[in-house]
Structure 1
Amino acid sequence: MLVTWFLDVDGWTPSKEDWQRLLSYVPQNEVNLIERYRFVKDQKFALCSRLLQRKLIHQVHGVDYQNIRIERTGKPFWVDCTNARWNYNVSHQGSIVAIACHDLYRIGIDVVCITDKSPKLTIDQFFKNFTLYFGSREWAQIHSSPNPLECFYQLWSLKEAYVKALGIGIGFDISRVQFDLDNGIDFYLDDQLTQTWQFITKQLNPTHYISIAMEIPLHERLNSIEWIQLDTHELDRL
């Protein structure tokens, strides 16, 4: 079963009482991590991410919030899950927080905001910072695109979704991964076309893209994914 949700927290200004109530749904060690963030936006992202994880586990597995133990290696996981293959991933950027899960296949997601670029840099200067992270076929797509920055972020999001699905994080050489968007999404690992993973990227709104990576055989073709937008009030305990 595939579940895909997202929240747009832009404009969300919970009252002090609402904020404290939502904080009470997560354990104190996670509250401490949330409150370490200096900026309110980052605190909101951190809290929404943790509540989305608990809402997902509650809805899919019927476990009460207070009985959900979440830990993290390369990706977060539910400690007491009885299905060793069930996994999920969460991502946030810009104003979007998203989560997705599957009970059979490794899954990763990534959100990118295409406006998140330093205003002090030209596009070419910005791209130079990432020279080693993209392959020749990807740079060719970026530079030939009518919107190079948008193409750049789509490719970056796909790379991140794959690495997050693996759950290995730091240490993986992201330049080993290339994508070709000219005819669907072709995936190359170490310059070899690979068919054991499938990818979908979607524009959620004018400034945000979201990508999903799943280790799923081609005969179970992923044609589309319905991303369901939740409202922040749905983060409340059920």
Structure 2
Amino acid sequence: MRKTKKIKSFLHFKDAKRTLVGEILVRSILGKQLSLKNKDINIYYNAYGKPYIKIEGNYFNLSHSGDWVVCAFDSSPVGIDVEIIKLIDLSLVLSFFSTEEAEYVFSIKSQNEQINRFYDLWTLKESYIKAIGRGLSIPLESFSIDLRNYLEIIKMKSVLDNRYYYFKKLFIDENHKLSICTMHPQISNEIVFKKIKEIISLMKENA
């Protein structure tokens, strides 16, 4: 029992650490982009927990999992999701997917590839509900993403706000899946990698 509590506390600590790194990352980059001091950057949260700032044309979104903390910035609403790839019981988690998505996952025999397809879909769907800003109040099975003929960009019209959203899978490493959702059809492949020392240095400049 004590060991279980210790493991849970450790996991919560790691999660809290990644959350803190995420906020430092956002503040350091916003401070540099907008020429603002850290004390002048006010981060708010909507009713579904999505963070935002009250500066027109400046949107961001955060995600963390495994070894990574990621952040996306855009001039329009944006969502990003990173997930560490783990072995999962696909028969259970596919209850969150549409029939078409479930068929796509199971249309290949390799279990490893099924898991890869699951995480591709999961991160893409998560990036969308985060871009919309309503989190898991939107049932994941209520919309479908078609990866059967995926080339580079996926276009989908939202039934919630009648606007088009664009999706892209990005490569970060072999052990994680990363996806982004924006309102722009052009999505760069570029990922800027920052070490924690660089982020803290930026924070000091904006102090």
TM bracket, shorter-chain basis: 0.7 to 0.9
- Residue 53 of structure 2 corresponds to which residue in structure 1? 78
The ranges of structure 1 where at least 4 consecutive aligned residues each deviate by more than 3 angstroms after the TM superposition are 185-191
The structure with more helix, counted as a fraction of residues: 2
1:200 to 137, 146, 168: 168
TM-score where L is the length of structure 2: 0.80
Identity value in percent = 27
> Does the alignment pair 1:174 with 2:140?
yes
The structure with more strand, counted as a fraction of residues: 1
Q: Specify every segment of 5 or more residues in structure 1 that has no aligned partner in the other structure, as ranges.
A: 1-36, 118-122
Looking at structure 2, the residues matched to 212 and 223 of structure 1 have their Cα atoms a distance apart, in angstroms, of: 9
Letter in 1 for 2:92: N
SS at match of 1:198: strand
Looking at structure 2, the residues matched to 44 and 107 of structure 1 have their Cα atoms a distance apart, in angstroms, of: 23
Kept in 1: contact 2:155–2:164 (CA 8 A):
no
- Residue 129 of structure 1 corresponds to which residue in structure 2? 92
- Residue 222 of structure 1 corresponds to which residue in structure 2? 186
Looking at structure 2, the residues matched to 90 and 148 of structure 1 have their Cα atoms a distance apart, in angstroms, of: 26
Looking at structure 2, the residues matched to 162 and 58 of structure 1 have their Cα atoms a distance apart, in angstroms, of: 26
Looking at structure 1, the residues matched to 141 and 166 of structure 2 have their Cα atoms a distance apart, in angstroms, of: 18
Kept in 1: contact 2:156–2:164 (CA 8 A):
no
Looking at structure 2, the residues matched to 57 and 195 of structure 1 have their Cα atoms a distance apart, in angstroms, of: 27
Q: Specify every segment of 5 or more residues in structure 2 that has no aligned partner in the other structure, as ranges.
A: 1-7
How many corresponding residue pairs?
184
1:165 to 106, 125, 131: 131
> Does the alignment pair 1:101 with 2:65?
no
- Residue 59 of structure 2 corresponds to which residue in structure 1? 87
Looking at structure 1, the residues matched to 61 and 20 of structure 2 have their Cα atoms a distance apart, in angstroms, of: 15
Are residues 102 and 186 of structure 1, via their aligned partners in 2, closer, same or farther at CA, if it must alter by over 3 Å? closer
